[in-house]
Structure 1
Amino acid sequence: MAALQRILWPADSELHYPTQMDTERKQDVSAARSVAFDLLRAVLTKNTPLDDAIAVHDGLNKLPRRDRGFARSIVGVALRRLGQIDALIESFVEKPLPRQASAVRDILRLAVGELMFLDVAPHAAVDSAVTLVESRGHPKFKGLVNAVLRRTAKEGRERLADLPVELNYQSWMIESWQAAYGADTAHVIAESSLTAPTLDISVKADPEIWAEKLEASLLPTGSLRREFDGAVTGLPGFDEGAWWVQDAAAALPAKLLGDIRGKRIFDLCAAPGGKTLQLAAMGANVLAVDRSPKRLKRLERNLDRLDLRAGVAAADITGWTPPSQPDAILLDPPCTATGTIRRHPDILHAKGIGDLAKLTNLQFRLLARAAGMLGPGGRLVYCTCSMQSEEGESQVARALTELPLERDPVTADELGGLDRLLTADGDIRTGPHLYRELGGFDGFFIARFRKK
């Protein structure tokens, strides 16, 4: 085959559907890759959040620990790098894959991700993909899959150099970052958001001791950080309730409320509850409010595991009547979550520009409701796990104009000296591109207010 010749898909008439023999051959399929295929399909064809797909996949938990980590790595890379992966595949074929065989495309996506971004041995990635294609009812594509992947192994890295990371993002995300931060910084954010995440931990007490036990580093902000290998429940201190998983950036908002021992604190839009756990561990009288009873159940389980106490209320905050006036409020409203792409790569495919418009409207409504609950002098911390300025800086500018709030600037001392996280106005803007020498942070915007 000539070097520049493209590979042809089989004709639609040649598509093959499963037989009993195909079913029997499934025993030869790589179990980890088969699980990764199921997870990828759940996200891309059913719009299932990756965490939910993982939670309900019985086969994943039956895999050995190493294979579980491998399956998660494969699907994570495919979701993060889907734009570049698809561009590579398209460069090797002459016409699009027939609609009836979309499963073959997803198997190719996983295998190309292995070859280009996980440095898996070519023979292992190629042979496993060919076997998986046959087991899923498309043996007519075995030769084509073999040819595409072998050319990818040979030529892919050279072609990948010409495929920008921005291909992995929806245009509205990149355009928003370019407008807010400039083209160069937007590019670094895009690159950094595709890296594998660390495992960050918040502890109830004795962070230095637990840093040693967990083989973690202690960040200037007080969080512990170690390599993420997919295993959490087996780590020291989990069963005894000494700590919980929480990104270092997500741990900042609660700390900005200061000394809250004995004070009444509302944690609005609280689930899954990391900030509620913090507030309770800090000695506050916390009421966690969220509209999702299911997600609040998870919070209650964590409260029990950690032996912490907090009130819990399932309610829509836009119509909720508080039982009392709080001393302070922490508001973490629904957002596009583009700051958490490292941990939740499905966000690259789940959110659209229409979601951004709806969410920014909801965020301001919730911000106005929270401001109305406070008495004069009460503190309000507003945060979103988004890199979009529309959900951060723009909301604060509007709040200062339309709501009875004044900015309560954050200082570098409150951030362990990490002054690059501070904006010129005294708000906080974290991201995977900041303090990369420490491993970066999830992308958060955080602002602190006082009620006038």
Structure 2
Amino acid sequence: MALEARQAALKALDWVLREGRMLAHLPADPRLSPGDAARAARLASLTLRHVQPLDAVIAPYLDRKPPLPALNILRLAAAELLVAGGDAHGVVDSAVKLAKARRPTQRMAGMVNAVLRKVAVEGPERFAAEPPQRLPGWIGGPVKKRWGAEVLRTIEAAHVPLPPIDLTVKPGATVEIEGATRLPTGSLRLPAGTQVSAVPGYATGDVWVQDAAAALPVRLMGNVAGARVLDLCAAPGGKAMQLAALGAHVTAVDLSDSRMGRVRENLARTGLTAELVVADALDYTAAPFDAILLDAPCTASGTIRRHPDLPHVKSWTEVEPLTRLQMRLLDHALTLLKPGGTLVYCTCSLLPVEGEHQITAALKRHDGLCVIPADPVALGGDDAWRSPEGGLRLRPDMWAEIGGLDGFYMAALTRP
């Protein structure tokens, strides 16, 4: 791997672990070739998935914990040695060069060299004995309380591998992609690391990237052909495209103009249409809709296998404000729904307080409101997805043998 790619990966680690910012907000480096940019992203992701076990391997070779810039060099190189199986000589040499090239770590190049030489020899056995990276307590605690310690450990193990890439196929399109498998729910699953923009059907708009779990809420609505459907908090537009492709007259609302720009791009590529409105969903008013999809803002704790930076950046302080916002959005969305219409509420969260608890609380707040019981088997899923209040609960440890799923909750509501 080129030194430039390792430098970019180290910058990404600093961005997350020192500055506390999500990788999605890291500006692209125009000096990197596409290949080096992809290699840097993979190495940074690999390191973030294993910070705790890597630290446990490195610690015995340190007299004291080094400053974060030096520690991140050690973590990055250890990940390349122990997880990616990199050549020891090349990895250690590059790590020393990284240390010498940065003012805060110039005097630590000798330490980096000594520690990594020991890691290269003794580290593999130590690393194999370490458990997967633990979820932070604000996620792991509620998961353990709801499903038990064994499920918590299987979820943590499911966060380790690079996830496969799922595609939604436009209805009626014929797409043949080498190496792809069709999931029982209808999504196409590609091997991890596939260059999506190069797969057949992507450029022509016949497919778009959407985790298999995220593709299910639209299907809870049933037949939407010809219906007026409101997609609240719509960006980046995967569900709006699903709805439009099924023949719905879609109004997509999102607060962010820049994120709505992605929806425009995706609609243009797929040749689908929707009315796009940049507005605060809480302020949006219109004639009642036949159906509403509310993909509410949440902690995104169900997407850690795709976003390993998330546990290092987000914290428990975000949970209460988000759950209050979800409650307000759900109440407001119900005012925009026709009597007898269907409202699907969903979040990409592992926390019951952002899923199951929101629905049970809404049923108490609104007379006549009821859940339309979801049938996961009819959707191609498993009975284990059923949630007691009538929704669906998906977790990363489910379907682990074929690549897993994002953590997701969804429920369909109606009020006669």
Mapping of residues 306-385 of structure 1, within 5 Å: 306-321=270-285, 323-385=286-348
Is 1:420 aligned to residue 392 of structure 2? no
User: Does the 8 Å contact 2:341/2:415 carry over to 1?
Assistant: yes
The partner residue of 1:142 within 96, 109, 117 is 109
Is 1:153 aligned to residue 120 of structure 2? yes
Report the equivalent of 2:10. Answer: 37
After superposition, the CA RMSD in angstroms is: 1.8
In structure 1, distance between residues paired with 2:165 and 2:84: 19
Is 1:75 aligned to residue 50 of structure 2? no
User: Does the 8 Å contact 2:163/2:192 carry over to 1?
Assistant: yes
Q: What percentage of aligned pairs have identical amino acids?
A: 41
- Deviation (angstroms), 1:285: 0.4
Which blocks of at least 5 consecutive residues in structure 2 are unaligned? none
Is 1:197 aligned to residue 160 of structure 2? no
TM-score in terms of structure 1 length: 0.87
Is 1:105 aligned to residue 71 of structure 2? yes
In structure 2, distance between residues paired with 1:42 and 1:360: 28
User: Does the 8 Å contact 2:221/2:344 carry over to 1?
Assistant: yes
In structure 2, distance between residues paired with 1:418 and 1:184: 19
Mapping of residues 405-444 of structure 1, within 5 Å: 405-444=369-408
User: Does the 8 Å contact 1:78/1:109 carry over to 2?
Assistant: yes
- Deviation (angstroms), 1:164: 3.1
- Deviation (angstroms), 1:121: 2.2
- Three-state SS of the structure 2 residue aligned to 1:289 is strand
In structure 1, distance between residues paired with 2:169 and 2:133: 36
In structure 2, distance between residues paired with 1:29 and 1:257: 49
- Between structure 1 and structure 2, the one with the greater Rg is 1
Which letter maps to 2:302?
Answer: G
In structure 2, distance between residues paired with 1:252 and 1:422: 13
In structure 1, distance between residues paired with 2:2 and 2:379: 49
TM-score in terms of structure 2 length: 0.95
- Deviation (angstroms), 1:373: 1.5
In structure 1, distance between residues paired with 2:164 and 2:2: 30
Q: Deviations over 1:219-240 (max 9, x none)?
A: 1111000113252222222221
The partner residue of 1:183 within 108, 132, 149 is 149
Which letter maps to 1:352?
Answer: S
Corresponding residue pairs, total:
414
Is 1:279 aligned to residue 251 of structure 2? no
Which letter maps to 1:85?
Answer: L
Is 1:258 aligned to residue 235 of structure 2? no
In structure 2, distance between residues paired with 1:276 and 1:218: 22
- Three-state SS of the structure 2 residue aligned to 1:165 is coil
In structure 1, distance between residues paired with 2:86 and 2:188: 30
- Deviation (angstroms), 1:386: 0.7
